[in-house]
Structure 1
Amino acid sequence: MKNHSPRIFLHIISLIPATWLFWQMWLWYNFFPHDLTANPIEFITDFTGNWTIRFLLLTLCISPLAKLTKWRLIKYRRALGLYAFSYGLFHFLNYTVLDYFFDWMLILEDIFKRPAITFGMLAFLLLIPLAITSFKYFIKKMAANWKSLHRIIYIITISAITHNYMMVKADILIPVIHAMILSCLLALRIYFILDKKRMFKKK
């Protein structure tokens, strides 16, 4: 029998931030005391944006961790990637609905005038094809092209962190930490690629 406990645990942990946020939003909407600060819309934007980046980084952690530990972690990567998209979608909806009330002219103007928004929108738009093609049907159908497409997760994460860094007004600690983690993951990826080439040459 398959042990589904790790997968269930992963889903529970991944849903905790969203559950907490929805609860706080319900309190705010019904005029009860809440923890969304004096500017709830800004807080929701920051919260969902940061969790999008965290799930992107966790998704990128899976492959090197699997190689270093020999654990079977790859099967959890898709779920983490889909959670990254889900939090990113919530972030996007907060921006378009609560912040701009579906005023697409203002939104487009914002995208083209503010580089921070440009990077954020780029990250979200690139996430969409990854989410759509993350299911088994597309993995089989696309074959080798699937891996090539999903490598853009690095571009997405770089764009998301750049967006985050440019958006913060004072405290840059969180985006800097995110950037440092991504740098380590990129260094590990380069190391594994070079190591694979060395092994191939020896053969």
Structure 2
Amino acid sequence: MEALNSSGARRVPWNKGRLTGQKPPLKLREIWAIRTRLQMSCKVRERAMFNLAIDSKLRACDLTRLQVQDVCMGGHVLSRASVMQKKTQRPVQFEITELTRQSVGAWISARGLKPVDFLFPSRISASPHVSTRQYARIVHRWVASIGLDDAAYGTHTMRRTKASLIYRRTKNLRAVQLLLGHTKLDYLPRGTMSGVH
């Protein structure tokens, strides 16, 4: 049953014409296409952000709040890091691959960031770090840059990408659950790994 507004006309649903539901993960070739474009365009911050988003599998709210000291110690980017998740208030560990360590190290050095600084400071003076909304716009730009429909992808795409690649290789749902920081199997929404098989 459709709601009517005061003039008697049908109200248009907020999601009419928009793709809703789960966002698909990126495929390996799409990851490399985005990495190549970011490398060629010399976008040091975005390259570090993209690589860390893939490796960490963090939600947007956790990725944007990372501090330098979360991933770097003594001037060296760690190969493994642990952060407290905002949503679950539970720690989650993640591996930082060599490629990501290089790009994050280059960003920290280029910006001259200190351990207590946010890893991705906002360019807007009122905000200490990139907002989740800003991050979402950046993700849409990455996706559109390689010719994909950016409406079909979002920040959760970045969270699901590495987990989906690992699931494809291992078929181990419990391992993926742990990588994403989930505590119970029933916490995974039905169809979470759809499109992964």
Normalising to structure 1: TM-score of the pair? 0.24
Which structure has greater helix proportion? 1
Greater strand fraction, Structure 1 or Structure 2: 2
Q: With CA pairs under 8 Å and 6+ residues apart, which has the higher RCO, 1 or 2?
A: 2
**TM-score w.r.t. structure 2 length?**
0.25
